[in-house]
Amino acid sequence: MCLTFDAITDQKRPVRILAAFLQKRNIPHALLFTGIEGVGKKDAALAFAMACNCTGEKHPLSDQFVNHLSSKKKWSIPINPCGSCRSCRKIISGNHPDIIQIKPSGAFIKIGQIRNCCDTLAMKPYEARVRVVIIPDAHAMNSSASNALLKMLEEPPDCSILILTACQTSDLLPTIISRCQQIRFNPVSEKSIEKRMIKNQGFAPDKASLIAAMANGSLTRAFALGNSDWINCRNWILNAMNPDPSDQSGQTGTLFSIPLTMLLAFAERLKKNKDFLFESLEILKSWLRDIVIYKYCPEKIINKDLIDRIQYASQHIDIKSLLIKIDAIQTAQKDIQSNANLRLTVEMMMMRIGRGQGNQ
């Protein structure tokens, strides 16, 4: 594996900004990469750390690089790390003593982890030109850890760069945000995700298209869906919760007309675990979304292989009822992320869906 900026999908603007920092040798003490999960923030942080310390023949940074924060001189240098020098190999393998990643201990990043990092930064780098501290998921810092980090940002150590990544700035202290150079990473396009799923994962175009549509701009999510039993799970859920127009039995047992007792029975099957439940609700939400937008933008639906069912459903339910159900699902997802009781969360959601039933 070789981490390079070229390998980061659909992030031309962030890469240009990072390239300018390197070429001008004018790197901020602290960087904040924001954007949804799975768009290349962590890979970009590692690639930047590698570029700062690459010793390859085609990456001629001088030993004076440690003075980059005060230097005004502009250098034209290759920005991609070579991936094969000793420094690059150590970073790729996770064994470089001066490239530090602080990850959550359990659910949070704790104050002890930040204090240990501060102690390390007080010393000169062991072998790197510049020490790089990466805090992926910086939003996981508890309040004590955030305050300890703030103190470090107020008095930045020499020869060190701090890179935070977070899904959204609202999860961080405003004082931390103000002391970082923020770089926004955009969602990856469906087309790019589909290409990656076909080329790297060997998916058939129709399945790759479906996964790309459900990935919500996240490559990490796309790969997770592709490597799981997601397709079968999706088929089970949608078959259980929506009508087949070719069914002549007269049963229109859909998410908007089935009895509450059946909804609760379905809820029992959903309560396997937190991740399974969240993904199941994403599937349900995509189905309801498709029904809403079908009348206006049929080309934008996600579940294209079920277009006949979507068309049928759109003729039998009003928009208001659909929006009630979508809101119930979104509320449940927020509760799940807040570690609410899964059983109660699902049952409350299903009761709201049942109360919001309404056919045209």
What does each of the 360 residues of the chain score in pLDDT, given as a tens digit? 557 888 899 999 999 999 889 888 888 999 999 999 999 999 999 999 999 998 876 554 544 443 443 444 444 445 788 888 899 999 999 999 999 999 998 889 999 999 999 999 989 999 998 999 999 999 999 999 999 999 889 888 888 999 999 998 888 999 999 999 999 999 999 999 999 999 988 899 988 999 999 999 999 999 988 877 788 888 877 777 665 555 544 444 455 555 556 556 666 766 667 777 888 888 889 989 999 999 889 888 998 888 888 888 888 778 888 898 899 999 999 998 888 888 888 888 888 877 665 444
Which residue ranges make up each domain of the chain? 5-184, 228-355
**Bridge partners for 101 per DSSP:** 134
Give the pLDDT of residue 106: 83
Answer whether 257's CB lies under 8 Å from 358's CB: no
CA distance 263 to 350: 6
> Is this structure's pTM higher than 0.85?
no
Domain 5-184: give its CATH code: 3.40.50.300
Q: May I ask the CATH class of domain 228-355?
A: mainly alpha
